[in-house]
Chain A
Amino acid sequence: MGEYSHLFQFFFSGITTGSIYALIAVSLVIVYRVSQLICFSQGEFFVFGALFMATLISKGVSLPLAFVISLFGSMAMGGFLQWLLIRRIQGSSIGNLIVMTIAIFLALRGLALIIWGRESYVVRPFTESQPITFMGASLQLQVFWIAGITVFVLLLIWFFFEKTMLGLAMRACAENPLGASLMGISVNRAAFFAWAWGAAIGAIAGMTICPLLFTQYTSGVMPMVKGFIAMSIGGLSSIMGSVIAGLMLGLVESYTIGLISSKFSDAIVFTLLILVLLIRPSGLFNSQR
């Protein structure tokens, strides 16, 4: 049994990192779907969510309450930024919009430095217990929280986009902005909610994942880059696609490390990414094109 336990451990490691990538990719896809915008400030919502929750917990607030407060805080921040900044330059080129999100990223990072300083924060797992062992391999319980919350978020998104008026309107905006505005749907309003949603899901990702990491003001970049990759493999606008792509990315990474080389794993994974893009130029899971 011990002989093959490392093969299972590769699997668990892949699931752990993959579930992290998947959740972040979802938050990126939400913004993309509605505003066709790649949001570079998404990693900062991740950081703000996690650090705000860590601060609340250290002040004695209970975990569920801290989670909810931080969630709505981030949501408000996302909406506010869209209202204050993105809306102003709505008419300019997509490149300008993307650079605006980079500028927002820099400013938020600077703000996080002032608020939280340079130290790393530790958040305890949502449920304190020994890791699960299976065939000699171990998995942290927090991964189940990540998986459960991802499923919950997916259901929520599905419900919102399929069953509510606002959600349907937002979808209409994504698919045909001109048509939507002719129908009296405010594109601005849809974008506002997309940012609020995107920020909220980014914060959820941060809060759910932070017990596995050590979070500081610079922690937003890694999740964002991996989220971008998962998103492009998944076909940009497909939420389910990006979830599967995120999990796959995690698994490919850990099996590359485990079976091929931990030295060149990054180079191998990125070469695979380029190959995937060349073979399926619109992502593996994009059924729309």
Chain B
Amino acid sequence: MKKFLIFILLLLFVGLSATNIGYAQKPTGEPYVIGGIFPLTGYLSWLGEYKKKGSELKVELINEADGINGRPLKLVIYDDQSSPEQAAKIAQRLISKDKAIAMIGTASVPISGAVASLANKNSIPAIIGSGYEVNPEKDRFVFNTAHKTDFAVARPFQYFKEKGITKLALLMPIGSLGELGSTLARKYAPSYGITIVGEEKFDVKAPDVTAQLAKLKTLKPQALFSFCTGEPAALVARNMAQMNMNIPVLVSHGNANPGFLKLVSNVNVPIIVPAGRAAAPDAIPDSDPCKKVIAAFNKRHIAKFNEPANYYSAEMVDAIAIIAEVLKTTKGATGEKLRDGIENLKNFVGMQGIYNFSPSDHHGTVLNDMMVFEVKEGKLHMLLK
């Protein structure tokens, strides 16, 4: 009897927590299905939420404006659990069960790799947003609206050169981001007159990195480069403050979001963050065509979520906008036609910059679309436009 009671209790619990999802759709006609692959649980889940919110709102806005030639967009979102295996599973589900014509999302290099593999195999375009570098020869159906990771290293290095910083130490997280950071730092350092004085690694789940910092401190660097996002980045900065290492620390371009700014609100170390325009719309001149796009979207985003869009949401908003733009002109949404459509898209104004795709460039943005900011009193201040 007791067992039965518990059963009822648990069942009730499950029943109560069931949610109902539905989209208000104005345009009639058969919807175009876009698949969203976001990390909603697991270690990347904090950024998955931004991506999900931004893309849901963008689809809502497009459907408010009568969809695409009268047909609505439908976004089907699944959780990749921050795991490549799960991402591969849901990409397969999106393609063969939900009949998605294109996919967006992903947040890390390995997850993008898993999704890219299925996109290519099934000829379904995927517009991802991560540090994954698309090789258009092999990744025929993969595009990336995140700025090339190269930009996130080259642009701050440009700033370092202007400031006369020549000795740089690397403190890289163990993981794909750290690997990329390390490779790119070595690639770009010579052209900006920077010497890399030392490199250490750390586990992103470690509670303390002062041992690594102490080792690097003995090499007397003028700046530190730690290519990580969120909590580990904040931990590095906090430990530097603890050790009185008052040199600038360069972190990854994913940090231009309110969550990170809150984490480092009481850390007194100059934190340098490269980011796109969406991170600080007030700092861009009115002549910039992107400003209008950002302002319009931000208005709705603030109204709905009480916070402006950020780097992560902007990537996904642009991805949806690009798909929508191509769908307007392409008759019949086969994977090949969509892919060709995106490859031929020129001068498309998004939140992240002005996209010019081609069969040999699946990123579309340029070096100067990345800007360099410093965190000051919980806000981003532009250092390099």
**In-complex A–B contact (CB below 8 Å):** yes
A96 → B minimal CB distance (Å): 16
* Max count, chain A CB within 10 A of own CB: residue among B42, B203, B211: B211
> Counting CB contacts under 8 A, is B235 at the interface?
yes
Q: Does A9 contact B (CB under 8 A)?
A: yes
B45 adjacent to chain A (CB < 8 Å): yes
Task: Report A-chain residues with C-beta under 8 Å of the C-beta of B259.
Answer: 119-120
Q: Are A16 and B210 in contact (CB under 8 A)?
A: yes
B262 neighbours in A (Cβ, 8 Å): 119, 122
Judge whether A222 is part of the interface by a CB distance below 8 angstroms.
yes
Q: Are B211 and A254 in contact (CB under 8 A)?
A: yes
Which of A114, A133, A137 contacts B214 (CB under 8 A)? A137
Q: Are B211 and A218 in contact (CB under 8 A)?
A: no
Given A6-B217, A262-B201, check contact A138 B243 (CB 8 Å): yes
A213 within 8 A of B: yes
CB under 8 Å from chain B, chain A span 1-35:
5-6, 9-10, 12-14, 16-17, 20
Q: Is the CB of A263 within 8 A of B6?
A: no
Q: Which residues of B contact A255 (CB under 8 A)?
A: 211
Q: Cβ of A214 and Cβ of B235 under 8 Å apart?
A: yes
Decide: B3 and A119 in contact? CB cutoff 8 A.
no
Q: How far is B207's CA from A13's CA once the two chains are assembled, in angstroms? A: 9
B contact residues around A12 at 8 Å (CB)? 210
Determine the chain A residues whose CB is within 8 A of the CB of B212 once the complex forms. Answer: 257-258, 262
CA of A120 to CA of B257 in the docked complex: distance in angstroms? 13
| B218 is an interface residue with CB less than 8 A from chain A | yes
| Interface residues in A112-129 (C-beta closer than 8 Å to B) | 113-114, 117-120, 122, 124
Chain A hits for B235, CB < 8 A = 213-214
Q: How large is the interface on A (under 10, 10 to 19, 20 to 34, 35 or more residues)?
A: 35 or more
Say yes or no: is A221 at the interface (Cβ < 8 Å to chain B): yes
Q: List B302-355 residues whose CB lies under 8 Å from chain A.
A: none
Asked whether, in the complex, the Cβ of A13 is within 8 Å of the Cβ of B211, the reply is yes
Interfacial chain B residues near A221, Cβ < 8 Å: 205
Residue of A nearest to B45 (CB): A118
Asked if B211 and A9 make an inter-chain contact with CB atoms under 8 angstroms apart, the answer reads yes
Contacts of B211 in A (CB 8 A): 9-10, 13-14, 254-255, 257-258, 262
Contacts of B189-231 to chain A: CB distance below 8 A:
200-203, 205-215, 217-218, 230-231
**A148 at the B interface (CB under 8 A):** no
Residue of A nearest to B244 (CB): A138
- Residues of chain B within 8 A (CB-CB) of A16 are 207-208, 210
Measured CB to CB, the closest approach of chain B to A18, in angstroms, equals: 10
CB of A140 closer than 8 Å to a CB of B:
yes
A212 touches B208 (CB 8 A): yes
- Could you list 29 examples of A-B contacts with CB < 8 Å? A6-B214, A12-B210, A13-B210, A14-B211, A16-B210, A17-B206, A17-B207, A88-B3, A88-B6, A117-B49, A118-B45, A118-B46, A119-B46, A120-B46, A120-B263, A122-B263, A131-B243, A212-B208, A213-B231, A216-B46, A218-B43, A218-B45, A254-B211, A255-B211, A257-B200, A257-B202, A258-B211, A258-B212, A262-B201
4 shortest interchain CB distances as A-B pairs: A9-B214, A6-B214, A222-B205, A13-B211
